[in-house]
Amino acid sequence: MVRLTNLLLAAALGGGVCLWAQAPKEDAAAIYKRQCAGCHGPDAKGQTAVGKNLKVPDLTSAAAQNLTDSQLFDDIAKGKGKMPAYENNLGHDRIQELVAYLRQFGKGPAGKKK
């Protein structure tokens, strides 16, 4: 009985550690919702109360969509104006995924550019 209890305890602890070590990676949409939508809005137009107050850019606009990926990456990583830097919080790969996600906001119906 002791061996079975120890085996079950070891399996439970081992499984828990394994699950913690393999936490699911947050996708770009979830990152945007958590980090960006409060100011830029769920539609990226910047029409939230905070966004209007801070005069955040409309990320669906031609001006924002014409920025290079490198420019968008740098703005997110290093911050711009009153927007904080996210380089330490998100890291390189997640910022790249976020840039790709932001490009979707510039597409009109059927995936065409506005």
CATH number reported for the structural domain that contains residue 41 in this entry: 1.10.760.10
CA nearest 52: which of 38, 31, 66?
Answer: 38
DSSP label at residue 29: H
Q: What is the pTM of this model?
A: 0.72
Give me the pLDDT at residue 26, please.
86
Q: What is the pLDDT of residues 81-109, one digit of tens each?
A: 999 999 999 999 999 999 999 999 988 65
* pLDDT > 90 fraction of the chain, expressed in percent and rounded: 69
Residue 107 corresponds to which amino acid? K
User: Would you say residue 37 lies in a domain?
Assistant: yes
Residue with the bigger pLDDT between 11 and 73: it is 73
User: Would you say residue 69 lies in a domain?
Assistant: yes
Tokens 């550019």 sit on residue: 113
Domain range enclosing 35: 25-108
For the cut 50, the answer to whether the pLDDT of residue 36 exceeds it is yes
Mean of pLDDT values over 26-49: 96
The count of structural domains within the chain is 1
Kindly state the tokens that stand for 5.
Answer: 């209890």
User: Would you say residue 38 lies in a domain?
Assistant: yes
